[in-house]
Amino acid sequence: MTQTPHPTGRWPVRIGINPISWSNDDLPSLGGDTPLETALREGAAIGYQGFELGNKFPREPQALRAKLAEFGVACVSGWYSGQLAEGTLDDELKRCDAHMRKLQAQGCGVVVYGEVAGSIQGRIDMPLGKRPRFVSDAQWQGYARRLDAFGAHLRQTYGLRLAYHHHMGAYVESPEDVDRLMAQTTDNVGLLFDTGHAYFGATRNGAPADPVAQLSRHVHRVVHVHCKDVRAPLIGAACNDGWSFLNAVLAGAFTVPGDGCIDFEAVLRVLHDAGYAGWLVVEAEQDPAVAPPYVYAKKGYDTLAGIVRRIEAAAEEAA
């Protein structure tokens, strides 16, 4: 994604949402009985322009397109469970085709690459301190080479950018991990910057919990953004008491923009000033029985939309 400063006040970003606010694929007990149509109807009514995919969406490309069109929303992207940390490039190329063609058919520009090899993010009984790590320079270099080649393949074959999702409980979790991955890859590997995982990953690994500083270091590699807020006391407890990722979710460590401690005004200004043009996706793992999805989804949308309007107004005034 080419990023250049915007010459006019209009900022070409769109606000989307992940269906995890209504139902959680990793914890089916959270909203498992909520129909997909409820999420799509409520999200569209709030003003969201698109949805990331989840397990309840149709698998077949034409059926997926029809379902999204029924509610007047776009397909933002979809999670892809990658295994390049421990697998081969050839296996990944064979495994990815159906998913990538589905995203291509929806007109998506990016695919969310989540590294699941060795990951403990779905293990409710596993403390985050047990996450996998690369233990040698050779392992890092091999991973970077495979990712780079995979990203190049996605661009050439499907017109999709690889958006690498740094994630708690996975190989790339800490700010140092992200720094190293960006240093060892080319722009075939774009960055999905997740504000909540940036804060949590820094806190758990003894680094300053400063998502704005982390974003600023790599903003020109950012091709996708997940806007997730955090409740700092619960993040601290998760780190100090050795919680699993899913137990942190259940405790309420994450929330929507405007309901936690992250400065989204500063985050979005960094993105704007760097020329980011893409999706801003509200993605906050919460228990819908505790955090009513419509109420929280609207709060997240209103927070981001208000900031975007203020940034646009300031840019128009300065033009």
Per-residue model confidence as pLDDT tens digits over 81-99: 999 999 999 999 999 999 9
Please state the pTM of the whole predicted model: 0.95
The predicted-structure confidence for 180-209, as pLDDT tens digits, reads as follows: 999 999 999 999 999 999 999 999 998 889
pLDDT at 4 over 60: no
Radius of gyration of the chain (CA): 18
Is residue 53 scored above 90 in pLDDT?
Answer: yes
Sign of dihedral through CA atoms 262, 245, 183, 7?
negative
Confidence tier at 318 by pLDDT (50, 70, 90): confident
| CATH code, 14-318 | 3.20.20.150
Token pair of 64, please? 């997926």
List the structure tokens of 107: 């007109």
Domains of the chain, residue spans: 14-318
